[in-house]
Amino acid sequence: MILERSNMFNIDTINNDLSRVIGKEHAEELKSLMRYYRLCQSAVNEIGTKLENLDGEYQSEYNHNPIHHMEQRMKAVSSLFNKAKKKHIPKTVDAIENNIFDIGGIRVITNYINDVYTIKENLLSQDDVTLIKSKDYIKNPKSSGYRSVHLVVSVPVFLSTGPVETPVEIQIRTVGMDMWASLEHKLRYKTNVEAEKVEHFENKLIEDANAIFEIESNMQEIYRDLSEPGVFKNEE
């Protein structure tokens, strides 16, 4: 399993970005936001460790790795405050803590569809993981064809002053769903293509999303028949 990290916590970068947005004159608010970014980074690390342990257990018990790879990331300061502005959220730590839960995030790419639910259910069964929000876009795909399971959970981050419950956003999807999502994101946000062509590709991608799901379902059935009993512990 490969763990990739992008936009991870860098004190100087975060400090400079926050200073530009809220101003150095707001020293206490700046310090509090830095502290909260650090908490979110630690929470992401906690979830990453839990998932690595879970994947290792399945490899040992069932000769199967449910996780293909994981990607950890921290939301850029510019993205955070753009989101706050869009949602009319004040630029304060309290407002951000109470309304924005995806500063720290981890994307889990699984090998098969049922692995998505194995990861979800095993993670949520842990005593120190609290579910805040859950959306299942595999059972209920978006109109675009997008499929993924989204979770927001909180985990305790242990500081010298005691534990602090901190949120992490988790996206869980298969290799095929992730490949599709990357291309769809590129089409929507990263290209300067005429509207007619974008519409054509959007319709094509809906068909492709359904085809990918069918192919992955068929491959999952083959893999189940070739594998040890219990390889997909949580059938959906």
Backbone angles phi, psi at 190, to 5 degrees: -120, 5
Note if 169 is an active site residue.
yes
Neighbours of 9 (CB within 10 A): 17
Question: Measuring CA to CA, which residue among 229, 236, 233, 219 is closest to residue 111?
Answer: 219
Instruction: Output the DSSP codes for the chain.
Output: -EEEEES---HHHHHHHHHHHH-TT-HHHHHHHHHHHHHHHHHHHHHHHHHHHHHHHHHHHHS--SEEEEEEEE--HHHHHHHHHHTT--SSHHHHHHH---SEEEEEEESSHHHHHHHHHHHHTSTT-EEEEEEETTTS--TT----EEEEEEEEEEETTEEEEEEEEEEEEEHHHHHHHHHHHHHHHS----HHHHHHHHHHHHHHHHHHHHHHHHHHHHHHHHS-TTSS-S--
Catalytic, out of 46, 169, 184, 216: 169
The DSSP letter of residue 190 is S
191 phi, psi to nearest 5 deg: -125, 155
- Please give the positions annotated as active site: 169
